[in-house]
Amino acid sequence: MRERASGKLVTLRRILCSDWAQVNETMANCYQWVTLRHPNIAVHQSVLLDQPTMDGDLPVCLVAEHPTGECLWKVIPALDASGRHHLALGLLEALSFLAQQHQLHNDLRPSNVIVSPADQRPILVGFLQTPGLERFPLGYSDFLSPEAAARTPAPTPASDVFSLGLVLACLALGYSSLDPLRRLLGGRFAWLLADEGNLVEILRPALERAGTLNPTGVSDLMGMLAGDPRVRPQPHECLERWRAAGETGVWLDEGPTPSLDAAEGQSLARANPEAGLATGEPGSIASTHPVLPNLTPPNLQRNLHLHQQAR
């Protein structure tokens, strides 16, 4: 965890490929992510081929510099209305940009949002996905949309909107760890409740009791959490609406009214400072593989050639 918070290079994901044709196709797709540049998205530094595994698979590694800052879980309890609105707009801007680039995040959750200490800017980290490439692992189940969990219909930018809706719900409820959300949902996944049509019935009263969103904000959030992706707003639509409404058009000045779940979650976070960080959750973006050197594409091609000769 110390290394991930220091801004050093980390391996985001190792993708095991069974043959060279799959390696080349995977490399081509990975380089699309390397070129992405946005203030609210961590820059992916390089793609490289790792040593073959014992089973003969060829791991392709996506390596990135992890930004300095705090995980969103740790920041939530101290945020006021202005801070919540600033974070929400930053995440909506990131998702709008990804949609324009025909990319998905598909693993949006508080653990994959780093808040910059300099300007409180939210920065998305994680493993991006090109729509339709189902061989890549999907995100963490607690924040997946119904279609992303079922892989049908294929995930779209509206799938990221659903995940963001859950993140913003945690923001509005003052949750500083995952446990209170799980208890609020009765131990069931949000995507399953949304698919059954029950998620809104659970979240709306909790958000109204918390008192951090005005009625317009609550209504917008419920739209983002619709079970049917066809009726969810697109990222740019959410961004335009919330930007036009302004802070007071969405959020209330009060901090969240502490519920039993929120109080328990904050107690757990204080007792275990690492709780809720990506390294402490299943499905973390940081692998246990050692940090790899940052190789430029020419060096990578040379490595590929050497590996092929060795075979």
pLDDT at site 92: 96
Would you state the pLDDT for residue 131?
62
* CATH class, range 69-280: mainly alpha
- Residue 35 per-residue DSSP state: T
* Alpha carbon distances (Å) from 234 to 92, 96, 134: 10, 8, 22
How crowded is the C-beta side of 89, counted as CA atoms within 13 Å?
18
| pLDDT tens sequence for the chain (311 residues) | 223 334 567 776 788 888 888 888 888 877 766 666 788 887 666 788 888 888 889 888 877 766 778 899 999 999 999 999 999 999 999 999 989 988 888 889 998 899 988 889 998 887 666 665 554 445 567 999 998 888 777 788 999 999 999 999 999 999 999 999 999 999 999 999 999 999 999 999 999 999 999 999 999 999 999 999 999 999 999 999 999 999 999 998 766 665 545 444 444 344 433 333 333 343 333 333 333 333 333 344 444 444 444 44
Give φ, ψ of 245 to 5 degrees. Answer: -70, -30
Q: How far apart are CA 284 and CA 274, in angstroms?
A: 13
| Cα dist from 181 to 118, 150, 175, 176, 223, whole Å | 29, 21, 7, 10, 19
According to CATH, what is the number of the domain 1-66+286-311?
3.30.200
What's the half-sphere exposure (Cβ side, CA atoms, 13 Å) at 236?
6
Which stretches of the chain are DSSP H helices? Answer: 20-34, 72-75, 81-100, 146-150, 157-173, 178-184, 190-196, 199-210, 215-224, 235-245, 247-250, 260-271, 297-310
Domain boundaries in the chain?
Answer: 1-66+286-311, 69-280
User: What is the pTM assigned to this prediction?
Assistant: 0.73
